[in-house]
Chain A
Amino acid sequence: MDNETVNILLVEDSAGDAELTREALANGRISHHLDVVCDGEEAIQFLNKKGKYSNANKPDLILLDLNMPRKDGFEVLSEIKDNPNLNTIPVVILTTSNSEQDFYRCFELKASAFFIKPVDLYSFFEVINSIEDFWFTKAKSPSLPK
């Protein structure tokens, strides 16, 4: 993987949303590689390169949905942040929940950003663009020297 390509892991149980995110990212400016897992359990396996994910890339950015079966976004987030190998990966919450409670809980768990999925396609594209911006400004950190 060359340095220009960003590895993004999308944790999303809704195929529709996953596809929309894929479209939005494809529409965006950065070159990336997107992996999609459909629940929290899978996400943890992916990150720990367990089972079928033994060849998985370590993501540079995680897009995490909150409402998921088996293991939800909060659990995934707290496991990532508790894991010294993973805790430097920025985690962006991408959810339909607009509950303040959820918002604050995510920041307590050290999420990097919190976005609500907009209904409108173009708004959604805007959100993804701003995540890209975020990645460019924030993620172009010393940990990823260019």
Chain B
Amino acid sequence: MPKKIQFAIDNKTLAGFIFLLLILTGIEWFTFRTTNELIDNTKLVNHTHTILTKLELVFSFLKDAESGQRGYMITNDSAYMETYKMDNNNVKNEIAELMKLTGDNPKQQQQIITIDSLVGERYNRMEATLLLQKEKGHTAMAEQIMTREENRIMDMIRKLINTMKEDENHLLTLHTNQTDVSAKRTIEVMLVTGCISIIIIFLGLYFINRDNIKRKIAEQELNRFFTLSLDMMCIVGADGYFKRINPAFEDVLGYTQEELFSRPYHEFLHPDDKTKTIEAVRNMNKEGSKLAIENRCIRKDGTFRWLAWKAVPIDDVRYASARDITEQKMAAESIKKMNEELENRVELRTAELKRSNEELQQFAYVASHDLQEPLRMVASYVQLLEKKYKGQLDEKADTYIGFAVDGASRMKALINDLLDFSRVDSKAKSMKPTDMNETIEEVTHNLKMAIKENKASVEVIGNLPTIIAESIQMVQLFQNIINNAIKFKGEKTPIIRISSEELKDKWLFTIRDNGIGIEKEYWDRIFIIFQRLNNREEYPGTGIGLSICRKIVERHEGKIWLESEMGKGTTFHFTIHKFPINNTSS
């Protein structure tokens, strides 16, 4: 993957840098301009000096030319003639140069032109004098000289040159002053810009330093976070070696940093977790997704620790952190073990309970069945005794016989009910679709006598459903409840209303009577075996009937409960599951 060029400068720094650059450019430009001005002014000064020199030279050459002429005229030596000619030429040259130099100054040009013409006139005169001496002799020449015309021209030239020099000197003063000003300004500008630069440099230094300190602090914080973290943190390279690890690694695994760097990460993994971890890391690299995995790492001492890893791949490296979850794992493990143990125990216990329950049922059945035999003997012979010998013995004997007969018949009822109770499960038959309307018909038929005697009315509200149940037990259930409703009637003639309701996964049946009612504290207790609420003389019974009801309902995965108001009546509710597990009809 090609590496992108990265700028580590933030916008603020960049803006500062550009600002600095602008200021420095400004300073540079300003310095350049003032320096240039200084140079220009210096050039002007030099220029003026050159002109002044040239002017001096012109005058000097003029004088030299005159000296040459005079010398020649006196000595007739041609060497003077040479000097004369040369100096005249020099004068011409210098004037030509001056013309060039003062190109920017029309006034000076004008004066030079005047000087030039005066120089020309003087030259003509000197030539004429030379000719005069040649042709007319020395006296004529002397006369000519004595006219002092040449001196007059020379004076005019001197005056003009002086004027020019004055002008130039004036200019010189001006330029020198300007140069001074420029130089001063340049120095000032340099000082100011230098100061500004220094300030900027210091400001820059300050800001850079401040940023650096901030960065350093941040770095330190990050480092501290890295080194002080109790979680393990690492960077793993593409080669699978650790590139950076924090001290937590050493603490947890017991290896030194060097040892950890010396081998690829997977060599520290538990052999059983190696494959899954390598596979997961490969997937992470391939999909660039985050990774969360739990595995075991081997410590230097050979033991292992459970670690919960989180990792993310960026470019070629993986950033990972891990937490030591050994304690939690162990705790979970031991909880799991304890749970299993508990479950086993519960299972064992359930099996034991089931067995003992079955044994108890068997016992109840056998006991009640076998009890019937001796009971039959007792009851029958007491009755036979009563039948055959009543009136032949005294009154007390008759009473005793009466108690014995009563006791035997109660025991008979008890045994029969107990038998019924134990048969709810042991003699259970398969469940079939049972029309509850038919069930009620059968019940009213069975209770015909009791209903007639008590003028009771049994009403079915609406149509009852056909449910999956054991029909004999449904008869038993309704018969017990309806029988109770008649038995525990109040002052009024008993009215019993039966209704049903379809719930989500069960049927709800309700049997409402207008009997004596049951006190609230007995609403639950009444379903417990042998619980009786009324005295035996008034309401005979074994106290098993409703426990049989509960057992039947529970066998059909339902619940039975009641509501009652003393003197107004009792309402029994029970539910039957729509598809009881014991159902074998399907």
Contacts and interface: CB of A to CB of B under 8 A. Distances in A.
Contacts of A119: 372, 375-376, 379-380, 408, 412
A119 B384 CA distance: 12
A14 B383 CA distance: 18
Given A119-B412, A120-B409, A121-B387, A20 B380 contact: yes
A135 interface: no
A121 B385 CA distance: 10
Given A120-B409, A121-B379, A23 B373 contact: no
Interface in B200-241: none
Nearest to A120: B379
Nearest to B409: A120
Contacts of B363: none
A120 B384 contact: no
Contacts of B384: 20, 23, 121
B187 interface: no
Interface in B329-375: 372-373, 375
A60 B550 CA distance: 50
Given A96-B372, A121-B383, A122-B383, A16 B377 contact: yes
Nearest to B416: A119
A139 B381 CA distance: 30
Interface in A98-128: 117-122, 124
Nearest to B381: A16
Contacts of A117: 376
Interface residues of A, number: 13
Contacts of A16: 377, 380-381
Contacts of B408: 119
Nearest to A15: B377
Contacts of B377: 14, 16-17
Interface in A76-100: 96
A121 B401 CA distance: 14
Contacts of A96: 372-373, 376
B492 to A, nearest CB: 33
B200 to A, nearest CB: 116
A119 B408 CA distance: 9
A20 B378 CA distance: 12
A17 B377 CA distance: 8
Q: Which of A14, A23, A119 neighbours the largest number of chain B CB atoms within 10 Å of its CB? A: A119
B413 to A, nearest CB: 10
A125 to B, nearest CB: 9
Contacts of A121: 379-380, 383-384, 387
A95 to B, nearest CB: 11
A96 to B, nearest CB: 6
A121 B375 CA distance: 11
Interface in B389-444: 408-409, 412
B383 A120 contact: yes
A20 B383 CA distance: 11
A120 B384 CA distance: 10
Interface in A5-63: 14, 16-17, 20, 23
Nearest to B380: A121
Contacts of B383: 120-122
B373 to A, nearest CB: 6
Q: Which of A17, A118, A121 neighbours the largest number of chain B CB atoms within 10 Å of its CB? A: A121
Contacts of B376: 96, 117-119
B386 to A, nearest CB: 8
A106 to B, nearest CB: 18
A79 to B, nearest CB: 26
A34 B380 CA distance: 20
A3 to B, nearest CB: 31
Contacts of B387: 121
Contacts of B380: 16, 20, 119-121, 124
Interface string B49-62: 00000000000000
A124 B384 CA distance: 11
Nearest to A122: B383
A44 B408 CA distance: 36
Nearest to B382: A121
Contacts of B381: 16, 20
A24 to B, nearest CB: 10
| Top 4 A-B pairs, shortest CB-CB distance | A121-B383, A121-B380, A119-B376, A119-B412
Interface of A: 14, 16-17, 20, 23, 96, 117-122, 124
14 contacts: A14-B377, A20-B380, A20-B384, A96-B376, A118-B376, A119-B372, A119-B376, A119-B408, A119-B412, A120-B379, A120-B380, A120-B409, A121-B383, A124-B380
Given A118-B376, A121-B387, A124-B380, 7 more contacts: A96-B373, A117-B376, A119-B372, A119-B412, A120-B412, A121-B379, A121-B383
